[in-house]
């Protein structure tokens, strides 16, 4: 024991994996570009509490979180709405992101993890085909294993050699550009406290307006970058529909990018493992990724601990890839197909689904909980259910083709995830990754 591990970037999953490994005697350091007090956006996050339990953390104090409200989804025309009814055992918790970081970092420090802040990572250090450390603005730091937890724009992943076969950049429709802020609350809200507007203002964007005791939470997101002018215009139109949305911004106001796509096809290489947003582990439709990152932290730590010779090669880390896809990735990848199809829907298409009751409240009741996701996929792929849904849209031939095409692609991606090589063989793995990535190429 005593091998040196670097966590590149302070993502939730990387820190959680570091805590588990530090408890087992590894010399492990997290390098993060931000100051400690700047860790975490100035907003709240929603995630499955089971993520904390999976990696051995206690629940935070009860005054630091609350249960999420069910969401109400409005059609583009706003003539129809559907409200979630999430079962109590699947309800996610809502916390301030800074409180999440405080909780996770305190746990990691207690386990023996070291943190180095205000350190900008530039690229990986390569020795032949092996990742052997990180390059920062000030020095080169070597390690036996680098855990890439540096986010959607990770400088480690983006600068890996092409020969490793790890995708460097997300594709079109893989990134969601988001504005999030909290405004003064100007009226009480009795019902529909969490309002989600699909293809709002007849544009390829999603907005929410969520009621809280002290403020009104607003999100505007789409697949192309936002400008200040576009945000102000959208806020004005949202205020016309929501009396509780004031004009005084109390906090937030950040523009951020979130991965909304399938998990990375290849998570590991010699001396390297990706986790969290670096590996695109969010739920593709809702963008929630904290719980998946925490659950993946346990799987990665288990693979490292099982490597008795401490080689940390692609071969020994392959267990992490296999376990992740078995427990999480196999459910996330089909959701990415649905997201790709929805991203190409026109407002008229989506209104058709609402108006003809092809979508119902049960269809919208999907959270970040793994069981919730798999139940949704199984229901969608059920043959009798599919026939009924397609029958409902057959009067629109073009839309029917989109739906049938989506189910064909879902079946294909489910088949290929099951066909992942059991053991690491470079040629077979790269061939599998190529086939997996092709499932998500839609013209």
pTM: 0.92
Q: What is the dihedral of CA 199, 202, 204, 205, to 10 degrees?
A: -50
Phi-psi region of 201 (alpha: psi -120 to 50; beta: other; left: phi over 0): left
Per the structure, the complete domain to which residue 120 belongs is given by 4-67+91-170+260-328
Answer yes or no: is pLDDT of 373 > 60.
Answer: no
Condensed to tens digits (0 to 9), the pLDDT of residues 281-310 reads 998 876 678 999 999 999 999 999 999 999
Residue 434 lies in a domain: no
Do 136 and 110 lie in one domain? The reply is yes
- Strands across the sheet containing 216-222: 81-83, 72-74, 194-198, 205-211, 216-222, 175-185, 245-259
Structural domains of the chain, count: 2
- Strands across the sheet containing 44-47: 44-47, 93-96, 65-67
Helices 370-381 and 330-342, axial angle in degrees (round to 10): 60
Condensed to tens digits (0 to 9), the pLDDT of residues 403-418 reads 777 778 888 999 999 9
Condensed to tens digits (0 to 9), the pLDDT of residues 67-117 reads 888 889 999 999 999 998 877 777 889 999 999 999 999 999 999 999 999
Do 237 and 295 lie in one domain? The reply is no
CATH of the domain at 26: 3.50.50.60
Neighbours of 380 (CB within 10 A): 17
Do 230 and 300 lie in one domain? The reply is no
Boundary of a domain, candidates 302, 328, 354: 328
Do 300 and 273 lie in one domain? The reply is yes
Do 110 and 207 lie in one domain? The reply is no
Find the mean pLDDT for residues 120-132. 97
Do 43 and 138 lie in one domain? The reply is yes
Residue 35 lies in a domain: yes
Find the mean pLDDT for residues 37-48. 91
Answer yes or no: is pLDDT of 53 > 60.
Answer: yes
Do 95 and 230 lie in one domain? The reply is no
Do 31 and 102 lie in one domain? The reply is yes
Find the mean pLDDT for residues 164-189. 94
Find the mean pLDDT for residues 272-276. 98
Query: Among positive and negative, which fits the CA dihedral 224, 228, 229, 235?
Result: positive
3-state helix, strand, coil in the chain (%, to 5): 40, 25, 35
374 pLDDT tier (thresholds 50, 70, 90): very low
Q: Which two tokens stand for residue 230?
A: 């576009």
Residue 140 lies in a domain: yes
Do 282 and 316 lie in one domain? The reply is yes
Do 215 and 320 lie in one domain? The reply is no
Of 36-40, 141-145, 182-186, 346-350, give the lowest mean pLDDT range.
346-350
Do 182 and 268 lie in one domain? The reply is no
């Amino acid at each position: 024991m005593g091998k040196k591990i670097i966590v590149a970037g302070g993502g939730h999953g990387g820190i959680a994996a570091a805590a588990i490994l530090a408890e087992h005697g590894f010399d492990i350091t997290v390098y993060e570009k931000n100051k400690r007090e700047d860790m975490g956006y100035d907003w709240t996050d929603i995630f499955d509490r089971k993520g904390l339990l999976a990696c051995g953390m206690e629940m935070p104090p009860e005054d630091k979180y609350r249960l999420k409200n069910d969401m109400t989804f409005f059609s583009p025309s706003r003539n129809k709405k559907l409200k979630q009814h999430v079962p109590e055992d699947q309800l996610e918790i809502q916390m301030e992101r800074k409180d999440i970081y405080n909780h996770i970092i305190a746990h990691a420090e207690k386990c023996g993890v070291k943190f180095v802040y205000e350190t900008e990572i530039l690229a990986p250090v390569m020795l032949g085909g092996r990742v052997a450390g990180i390059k920062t603005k000030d020095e080169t730091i070597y390690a036996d294993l680098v855990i890439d937890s540096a986010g959607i724009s990770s400088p480690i992943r983006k600068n890996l050699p092409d020969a490793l076969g790890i995708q460097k950049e997300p594709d079109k429709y893989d990134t969601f550009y988001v504005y999030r802020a909290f405004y003064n609350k100007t009226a009480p809200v009795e019902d529909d406290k969490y309002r989600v507007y699909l293809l709002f203002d007849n544009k390829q964007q999603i907005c929410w307006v969520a009621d809280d005791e002290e403020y009104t939470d607003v999100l505007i997101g789409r697949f192309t970058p936002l400008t200040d002018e576009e945000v102000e215009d959208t806020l004005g139109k949202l205020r016309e529909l929501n009396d509780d949305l004031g004009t005084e911004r109390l906090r937030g106001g950040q523009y951020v990018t979130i991965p909304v796509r399938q998990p990375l096809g290849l998570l590991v290489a010699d001396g390297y493992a990706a986790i969290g947003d670096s590996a695109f582990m969010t739920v593709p439709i809702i963008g929630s990724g904290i719980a998946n990152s925490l659950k993946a932290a346990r799987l990665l730590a288990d693979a490292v601990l099982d490597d008795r010779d401490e080689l940390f090669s692609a071969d020994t880390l392959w267990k992490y890839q296999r376990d992740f896809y078995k427990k999480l990735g196999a459910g996330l990848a089909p959701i990415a197909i649905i997201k790709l199809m929805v991203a190409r829907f026109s407002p008229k298409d989506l209104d058709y689904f609402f108006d003809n009751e092809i979508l119902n409240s049960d269809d919208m009741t999907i959270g970040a909980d793994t069981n919730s996701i798999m139940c949704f996929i199984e229901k969608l792929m059920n043959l009798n259910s599919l026939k009924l849904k397609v029958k409902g849209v057959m009067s629109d031939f073009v839309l029917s083709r989109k739906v049938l095409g989506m189910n064909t692609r879902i079946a294909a991606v489910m088949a290929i995830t099951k066909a992942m090589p059991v053991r690491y063989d470079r040629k077979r793995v790269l061939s599998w990754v190529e086939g997996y990535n092709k499932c998500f190429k839609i013209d």
